[in-house]
Amino acid sequence: MIELHIRTQKRTQSVPIRREVEAILARQGWRNGLLTLFVPHTTAGITVQEEDDPHVMEDLFRTLEQVAPWDNPAWQHHEGNAASHVKAALIGNSLQLLVQHSQLRLGRWQGVFLCEFDGPRTRNLWLEFVEKDSGGTPFQAPS
């Protein structure tokens, strides 16, 4: 298992991490298989979303703020960050992604984002890789 440390700068923030993840894949010699990404925090998450247009993540965070506003008087959790727990639960804390030739197999516009909901903090991302059996050619796209 590899651990990546990501320092966030804001209370709520999306951090693109595709390049860092692919650098780890190459450095470790992880070529073809399945990569698990896990965020071991209850106030941060991880997601795949459009990478090319930053407004997509802004819209996602704006929607999450409408669903779970910071100042909701009905929150039962009284440490002041109940909204961050709800947002992280909605986003999720793990992904499984296909890897081919040490590159993530994502759609044309997709990227991988760490989602911070209670920053700024240093967040951890755990990476675990399962190598594809070398008995065949992995992940061939249909012709």
- pLDDT tens digits for 5-27? 999 999 999 999 999 999 999 99
- pLDDT tens digits for 31-50? 999 999 999 999 999 999 99
The pLDDT of residue 134: 65
- Contact between 46 and 92 (Cβ < 8 Å): yes
Region 87-94 average pLDDT: 98
C-alpha to C-alpha distances, 121 to 49, 64, 81, 99, 115, nearest whole angstrom? 22, 20, 14, 29, 12
CA 111-100-7 angle, to 5 degrees, is 40
Q: What domains does the chain contain, in order, with CATH numbers?
A: 2-72+79-131 (2.60.120.460)
The pLDDT of residue 72: 87
Q: How far apart are CA 38 and CA 114, in angstroms?
A: 10
The pLDDT of residue 138: 56
Q: Within 10 A of 114 (CB to CB), how many other CB atoms are there?
A: 24
Comparing C-alpha atoms, which of 40, 51, 43, 41 is closest to residue 18?
Answer: 51
Q: How far apart are CA 14 and CA 34, in angstroms?
A: 24
Comparing C-alpha atoms, which of 95, 123, 117 is closest to residue 14?
Answer: 117
Region 82-87 average pLDDT: 96
Q: How far apart are CA 104 and CA 95, in angstroms?
A: 12
Percent of the chain scored above 70 by pLDDT? 93
Global pTM value: 0.90
Q: How far apart are CA 94 and CA 35, in angstroms?
A: 10
- Contact between 71 and 80 (Cβ < 8 Å): no
